Chains A and B, each alone.
Chain A
């Protein structure tokens, strides 16, 4: 773990959506640190707020959303307080974003070369051979016949190829921070492995930091250094990757890990599932949002636990984190019974 100052420091981030005149917090107080050379995963299921967290930091929120609190310090500046112009200068250079759906983030009426050239020129000194650099980039992301493909339009390439182009664009200006939002979710598993391997290689070469948003615990296990688990707008657990998987300290993390089918273990007759559903945005209970589904629930849970350290690098937002960590089983009468979702 790096002891230098973080590249990116996010504190108390709160982003809301306005529904019929009322603001509801999708991101409810998130803190994050990202160091050079590190991959920090932000993992959660639908409605956790992980994507909106990333979009908030990159200042790419849709119109119905707005960040209402917090700061995101990068290079001495608070990203949340820059003008759109200042942010645009950073995006695509010092800070890159890779999205899930390349068809909507690549310009369909421009060739691959045109789109790459723009970024290369922004990040380079005068005199660089833009076309040669572009071909080199395409090659470095595993695109075969780059000198032919470079003059094609996005729709002429397969989904996997387009995502490789996205990757090339993301690294073209040698960014210090890459924010990758479910970058491979829409791809075949073999393509996913290739893209993520390439991303890791380039991150390492550039000593950049990556914020990786995903729902896939396999991807987390293979690529992340530090993991933040999000549930209903809050980070409920944070730990180095091995620590999180070996000793989960939050009931949600524990439930999530045991409900995943694994290829490397014998089949079990039933997958232990977490019954119930996350609360709708407009009906979040006061206190811990996981209460209705939590076997460890006690009266005190109506008071929201803070993300507190249970070990030097391991934080959990649960009053009973130590018990969860030690595998103490919850009292039977605490088990919440819900209608099956």
Chain B
């Protein structure tokens, strides 16, 4: 399962995103390697989970592959077509095939637009449906798919709960039947019991429409549930990549182990018996090198790079 079966929908090869800026409060200028040589691919209908903590670069990577903040280096291919280095005009035609769902439903939905218009917007921009009635039908169809009533089209985002707004965001994202959906902390701001509803919905929609999904989150239990394979990022680089069940049954990289150790399990009996033995992690990067230790399971070296190369 190393390379995606058949032709992958998304191929990212050695993607880098560097920023120049003040490295520390002393004021010296320094290159910040927010994403450094990240390579992944995603098959049609597959969900790749991307986990990491703050500073891991996971959100920066997502924005880079969607060309929202284009990569500094590396190649990105969507369904076989290169999308890095394209002009804005060329990109516009391809944007319909890749959509994003954001963390904060409050700020990603225009509060001045009715829900129906928000969902219709990508359809109107793409020029697919010109007939007003057909457009309205499509909006109702999409609302139905995300289990919201048709009447929602006439209301404004603030009239809905967080979970409902997230569903509206999903309806907008699937409107053009994209090949790839990037969900960046899509359920993190929702209450736990609402998360389950939205996760179920996403998984149902993926089964039906077979889009590839890059699911970024810091909540490991949620990612494990929804993702087929998971990549763990630390300080801009991937340290481990494996099928979900393998990663949790047999985490090999010290950072992955530290991460799993830190997550409390909602079961006091399990927690009382747990030996949390992972060694604490220092803020030093691991080399860019992934070894396939068993089929489909890739791990970076366990020793961080020497101090000078940080």
Contacts and interface: CB of A to CB of B under 8 A. Distances in A.
- The answer to whether A and B come from one shared complex is yes
Interface stretch (B30-38, B195-203, B286-294): B195-203
A63 interface: no
A7 B261 CA distance: 33
Interface string B43-63: 000000000011000000000
Contacts of B271: 221-222
B161 A340 contact: no
A233 to B, nearest CB: 16
A222 B263 CA distance: 10
A94 interface: no
A217 B28 CA distance: 43
Contacts, number: 133
Contact of A261 (B149, B196, B245): B196
Contacts of B192: 45, 215-217, 256, 259-260
Interface in A232-270: 241-242, 245-246, 255-257, 259-264, 266-268, 270
Interface string A262-296: 11101110111111010000000000000000000
Contacts of A190: 53, 258-259, 262, 281
B306 interface: no
A340 B263 CA distance: 30
A66 B267 CA distance: 36
A81 B277 CA distance: 48
A271 B266 CA distance: 15
Determine the main DSSP class of B at the interface with A: helix
B269 A246 contact: yes
A73 to B, nearest CB: 29
Nearest to B52: A188
Nearest to A256: B193
Interface residues of B, number: 47
Interface stretch (B14-22, B82-90, B175-183, B217-225): B217-225
A336 interface: no
A61 B267 CA distance: 33
A136 to B, nearest CB: 21
Contact of A189 (B25, B167, B262): B262
A261 B222 contact: yes
Given A218-B264, A274-B193, A261 B200 contact: no
B81 interface: no
Interface in B144-198: 147-149, 161-164, 167, 191-197
Interface of B: 25, 53-54, 147-149, 161-164, 167, 191-197, 199-200, 203, 218-222, 224-225, 244-245, 248, 258-271, 276, 281
24 contacts: A159-B54, A188-B53, A189-B259, A193-B263, A194-B262, A216-B192, A216-B264, A217-B192, A218-B266, A222-B271, A245-B266, A245-B268, A245-B269, A256-B192, A259-B192, A259-B196, A261-B222, A262-B267, A263-B265, A270-B200, A273-B194, A277-B161, A339-B149, A340-B197
Interface of A: 45-46, 156, 159, 188-194, 215-223, 241-242, 245-246, 255-257, 259-264, 266-268, 270-275, 277, 339-341
- Going nearest first, the 10 A-B pairs with the smallest beta carbon separation are A218-B264, A273-B196, A340-B147, A193-B262, A217-B266, A188-B53, A271-B196, A45-B191, A222-B264, A261-B221
Given A221-B268, A277-B163, 12 more contacts: A189-B218, A189-B262, A191-B53, A215-B191, A221-B265, A261-B222, A261-B225, A267-B245, A270-B200, A273-B194, A274-B193, A274-B196
